[in-house]
Amino acid sequence: MKNMYITDQEDMIFWFSIIENNGAKTVLDIGLFLERIGAIARQVGGMALPSQTRLDGYNLSSQQPLPIYETVYDQIINKQEDLNIRYDLGLLLGIPEEWNMDEIKQIIRSRTLSLLAVDIPVFEMLKKASVDLSNSCEVRTDNREYRLISF
């Protein structure tokens, strides 16, 4: 895989840029990043997902997302057994301590993702959890580093 450089510094812009740069038509937002940043639409700062992009969210929290997110995501998934398609791209930025690392590993090992974009703290946690990260490349913004992992 070739390293990429994205010029914006914000996780939100990275989130949209990595989807666009990879031409992903099916995206799994692991941990409902859009909810965690308070976005109530499929666009932020002038960037938007194409309407034909399927965006599913995987809820790792014990709380149900607010009803508005049923309009942001095409589907909100609450358990690994409900993952029934292969996604072009998964995104996992930040892992709050209360999330179940075993569940995250199961999602990654379920072969439902072609690519997974993560921030460095998540990458390090996955490394400690013995997830195969051998096929990954660096993705940088001006001030942050991410990893794109191919499965």
Q: Report how many domains make up the chain.
A: 1
pTM, two decimals, is 0.89
**Over the stretch 28-51, which tens digit does the pLDDT of each residue have?**
999 998 888 777 888 877 888 988
**Over the stretch 95-133, which tens digit does the pLDDT of each residue have?**
887 788 888 988 988 889 999 999 999 999 999 988 899
- Closest CA relative to residue 43, chosen from 11, 66, 12: 12
> Which CATH number goes with the domain that contains 41?
3.40.50.150
DSSP track, 51-120: TTSEEEEE--SSSPPPTTHHHHSSEEE-SGGG--S-EEEEEE----TTS-HHHHHHHHHTT-EEEEEEEH
Range of the domain at 40: 4-150
Task: Tell me how far apart the terminal alpha carbons of the chain are, to the nearest angstrom.
Answer: 12
- Closest CA relative to residue 94, chosen from 24, 6, 2, 14: 14
Contact 72/39 with Cβ under 8 angstroms? yes
